[in-house]
Structures are given as structure tokens and as C-alpha cells.
Amino acid sequence: MERETMSQAEWQVMRVLWANPGATSAQVIASLSQAYNWQGVTIKTLLGRLKNKFLVTAEKSGKKFQYFPLVSEDEQLRQSLESLQASVCNTKQVDLVRLLIETGQFSQTDLEQISQLALEKRDQAPERLICNCIPGQCTCGQHGGYYHG
């Protein structure tokens, strides 16, 4: 199922709920209002939007509502990555990985695992990737350039 996308602000609210499922709006406000300089009403609006997108559910508990995530952090990350992958030529997906490795922060163990994973993938990888872009959207050089002229 195609999930709703999340704004950066909504994502920050989700992170609180992933770490503390069942948090009340007061608890989410306590976590975020200082760091982001957001008013309580802003955070309540964000919670409302997430609820409308069926990304969180609110359960009444006494006078308060508790908020629970309906999507896991893992699923949401995977979906963001898939949409990023879908927006770039498959011959250029390596650029995403390279950028992530260049700009990200990793421990030595992380990097050993990444190297290991890359070596394992290499055994099944084709020698050359075939572009599957729509001609006119791509600069991979495999299309003979007929759509340029």
C-alpha cells in the first residue's frame, strides 16, 4: 500500500511516538517545543494531520488522548528510500549510496558491515546496468540521444 508522505515536522512528531508509543499531546509538546521552538498548538495540529493521514491513532484515556504510531519507523524509512530510488535513474542509484557514505556518520563496525554487504551483492550484480528511464528524463547516455534532437 502506498503510504502518505510525511513532512519534516510531522516526522519529528512521529519520532517521539516511535520512541514513546502512547504519549499524550502534552508529552509530545514537552519533548519538542523547546528544541524546535514550536507552540503547543502547532504540535497539536501536526498530531491532527498525522491522525487524518492514518499514520497515528488517538485513544481516549481519561481526559486525555494517547497517540500511537500506525506505521513503524522502519516502514516509513523504507518508503522514503523507495520514493528516492524511484526518482533517480537505476544507473545512478550508486550516487545515492556514495553520497550517503560520504556525508553520513558511521562507526568502524558499520563501515565493515557495509563493505561486507557490498562484496556479497557484487557476486550477483550484473556487469552493467540497463537504464529503464523514460527517454528524455535521463542523461545516462544509453538512449543514443535521439530525443535530444
Nearest to 8 by CA among 39, 41, 46: 46
96 binding Zn ion? (CB under 5 A): no
* Contacts (CB under 5 A) with Zn ion, residues 26-85: none
Polymer length in residues for the chain? 149
Fill in the per-residue mask, 114 to 133: x = in contact with Zn ion (CB under 5 A), - = not in contact. -----------------x-x
Residue with cell 537504464: 131
- Residue placing its CB nearer to Zn ion in the complex, 59 or 95: 95
Return the residue of 48, 65, 138, 144 that touches Zn ion, per CB under 5 A: 138
Q: Which DSSP string do the residues of 53-91 spell out, in sequence order?
A: TTSEEEEEETTEEEEEESS-HHHHHHHHHHHHHHTS-GG
CB of residue 85 vs Zn ion: minimum separation in angstroms? 12
CB of residue 104 vs Zn ion: minimum separation in angstroms? 25
Q: Which residues contact 72 (CB under 8 A, 6 or more apart)?
A: 18
Amino acid identity at 6: M
140 binding Zn ion? (CB under 5 A): yes
CB of residue 138 vs Zn ion: minimum separation in angstroms? 3
Amino acid identity at 133: C
CB of residue 94 vs Zn ion: minimum separation in angstroms? 12
Chain residues binding Zn ion by CB under 5 A are 89, 131, 133, 138, 140, 142
